Chains A and B, each alone.
Chain A
């Protein structure tokens, strides 16, 4: 009898089906992986198990009994514990105080006795924790241990971990695995959510793979290769890349040379000696699961973050330390992943938003805004890119996601940039708008611009990129022609397995054209 058995779980939200007819089984003592890319439906499923969300259909069997989970406290009392990816800890409190808050009143009262229990439990599971330390002084890995110990102190039967190793060093990962193995030997069931194939094959006894809200496969990771799993994650067929004619770039427009970046923020991803080139008349696509350095790379390219002057070169000029305005003057345009609240000001009109990044196009005369020209520009974008809105004076926040994205892309492309960088250009955008956006990108490429696209949509990257690569943990995979990269390879690159071809070409020249 499985400890947890889900059958036919379905959950729909307006506009998308998060989980469709999902079934999952975890036995006592089993470490079961739940795999899938962002948007595959993993977090919704987890929220259902933990009682935060109620499914529209399906059965939930706990130790053979059909049950409805009323909420997180109910789940906790059943013996289900959850460690979220973004911790819910109180940083200025101590470990013991944090754990005390999560326990029912009687247990939390005596801090001294609790500290003792914390020490015992954490030692037993190989996770040394000092109850008296303040959480903000702990490393991210140690903070995760606090979350786990908090679950362990409550007679746990099923432990759910959401992408636990995304914030851990390799050594900490080893430590975590030891802990999980101890737990599983004692009979606790573990649900391990991840997209990292090598870890799954090392640790897990079973795996369920989600794709687009449905189960696309299940297996025993000990008996299959990571390539098999990758295929289940991204689909059996390499997506057609023949929709658009592939092009070959000419001279380099953007050169990134050994870009190194570190931030104080523990959740930020560093970049390690990243190098790439984007050529005129080509689209370079960067695949990768979110959180592997894409955000940081985008900010460094746009000028929102600065780096060493020489690390970024645009058309012969070193621009690493230039502010955004000056980069735009050199022919740079940027579509960020956040539409509302970065790419556009939510409460301002489309006319006003048109001016946001295009002021260098002669729309300002001696400090005065030429409203006629701005309106002309905005109207041009709205018409050409078929932006459905209440007109020039419509507030940006009143547009649908797709329409606003079309507007922003239009605003950038109509600047006739020499280099266009796009971050997740069709994320959350309807099919019609997505097609239009891709057409526009191809069109811009054919006019000789260099385009860099970062996306999690692999289909899209195959469609529009001429060359493709992946980023993982701040390292860039080799860059190859899209036709020469099959889906298994890309999947492996996304997981950090760059094969015997090492990443990070030397001297700023790509190893492969």
Chain B
């Protein structure tokens, strides 16, 4: 296995990891405020289909990405209304969102199957892309990948040293106490949920506009769920999400690695790897009960009813 192959594999890893990063970062912010949104898979598909439809209809990839984000936001608003304002069970509502999103996206996209577009092209960053190896891997990607880097930085900064991050964490920890401090719990949670929706919409747009410029029913193949596991795996820390996402991304492109190593393994068996890896990770994590308890936002998944 030579250097070029390794570089190519890592290059592909970054591409594959990007949607996971976006969804996981968005869900992380959402969960840090105490809201568990299991509807990621459905929102991802909606982002993908809306983005694709917009690209075909308007011919503008930029507008397509924007509309994908909007789709994610609208879906998450629906979720937010049910689970925050109507205080519904977050698990059931999230599942409903996934099933609904899958159904709606399949319906909307039915006449777009098989349609081709020119997707988002890679854009090399001058100078940085000249660096041997690293340049190819990180700086010859398409603009949405660069956006994921920026968004990572943003989320990282939010929780490291900003007031808003503090408020979000407070709400997620102990909404009653946060309310007593004068923080508007509902407002903070809505913002967090919407941010998650926007990120997931963007990730969906990435899938259908950049990663594989096409639309197919269920094309997200469980990435939304993997991203959910990723958030737990990363102990709700942004930097670990980055790492974990690329790791999972690597699992998804095992066929390249195997080819490089000269092995012939049935592609369907390899396709199982990301899911098996997710289970392994969940098992390893959950057995360390105390640690998960410490890193998880205390009020995660618990509906908050303000005492009037």
Contacts and interface: CB of A to CB of B under 8 A. Distances in A.
Q: Do chains A and B directly touch (beta carbons under 8 Å) in the complex?
A: yes
Interface of A: 72-73, 88-93, 97, 100-102, 108-109, 111, 136
B173 A93 contact: yes
B177 A90 contact: yes
B170 A101 contact: yes
A382 to B, nearest CB: 34
- In terms of DSSP, what is the predominant structure of the interface of chain B? helix
B298 interface: yes
B163 A109 contact: yes
6 contacts: A90-B169, A90-B170, A92-B169, A97-B169, A108-B163, A136-B294
Interface string B86-122: 0000000000000000000000000000000000000
Contacts of B182: 73
A88 B170 CA distance: 11
Interface in B158-174: 161, 163, 166-167, 169-170, 173-174
Contacts of B217: none
Contacts of A100: 166
A92 B295 contact: yes
B173 A90 contact: yes
B1 interface: no
Contacts of A93: 166, 169-170, 173
Interface in B279-308: 294-295, 297-298
Nearest to B181: A101
B266 interface: no
Nearest to B169: A93
Interface of B: 161, 163, 166-167, 169-170, 173-174, 176-178, 180-183, 294-295, 297-298
Nearest to A94: B166
A88 B298 contact: no
Given A73-B182, A102-B181, A88 B174 contact: yes
A136 B298 CA distance: 12
B71 to A, nearest CB: 33
Contacts of B181: 101-102
Contact of A101 (B166, B294, B298): B166
Given A90-B173, A93-B166, A100-B166, 20 more contacts: A72-B180, A73-B182, A88-B176, A88-B177, A88-B180, A89-B177, A90-B169, A90-B170, A90-B174, A91-B173, A91-B294, A92-B169, A97-B166, A97-B169, A101-B166, A101-B167, A101-B170, A101-B183, A102-B181, A111-B161
B76 to A, nearest CB: 24
B184 to A, nearest CB: 13
A90 B298 CA distance: 9
B298 A91 contact: yes
A97 B163 CA distance: 9
Nearest to B167: A101
Contacts of A101: 166-167, 170, 178, 181, 183
Nearest to B177: A88
A108 B180 CA distance: 16
A136 B182 CA distance: 23
Contacts of A102: 181
A93 B171 CA distance: 11
A294 B13 CA distance: 57
A106 to B, nearest CB: 12
A91 B298 CA distance: 9
A100 B181 CA distance: 10
A408 B70 CA distance: 56
Nearest to A90: B173
A154 B174 CA distance: 22
Nearest to B163: A109
Contacts of A88: 174, 176-177, 180
Contacts of B176: 88
Nearest to A98: B170
Most B-side CB within 10 Å, residue of A90, A93, A97, A102: A90
A189 to B, nearest CB: 23
B235 to A, nearest CB: 11
A97 B178 CA distance: 12
B59 to A, nearest CB: 47
Contacts of A109: 163
In the A-B complex, the 4 residue pairs with the smallest Cβ-Cβ separation, listed nearest first, are A88-B177, A90-B173, A101-B181, A90-B170
Contacts of B298: 91-92
A84 B104 CA distance: 50
A139 to B, nearest CB: 16
B98 to A, nearest CB: 28
Contacts of B170: 90, 93, 101
A199 to B, nearest CB: 27
A102 B170 CA distance: 11
B182 to A, nearest CB: 7
A88 B175 CA distance: 10
Contacts of B295: 92
Contacts of B163: 108-109
Contacts of B183: 101
Contacts of B180: 72, 88
Contacts of B169: 90, 92-93, 97
A76 to B, nearest CB: 10
A136 B173 CA distance: 12
A509 B93 CA distance: 58
Contacts of A92: 169, 173, 294-295, 297-298
Contacts of A89: 174, 177
Nearest to A134: B294
Nearest to B171: A90
Contacts of B161: 111
Contacts of A72: 180
Nearest to B295: A92
Contacts of B166: 93, 97, 100-101
Most B-side CB within 10 Å, residue of A92, A93, A108, A136: A92
A21 to B, nearest CB: 28
Contacts of B294: 91-92, 136
A403 to B, nearest CB: 28
A73 B181 CA distance: 8
A159 B173 CA distance: 26
Contacts of A111: 161
A160 to B, nearest CB: 15
A192 B3 CA distance: 71
A72 B170 CA distance: 18
Contacts of B178: 90, 101
Nearest to B166: A97
A108 B166 CA distance: 11
A93 B182 CA distance: 17
Contacts of A108: 163
A457 to B, nearest CB: 29
A502 to B, nearest CB: 37
B159 to A, nearest CB: 11
Contacts of B173: 90-93
Contacts of B167: 101
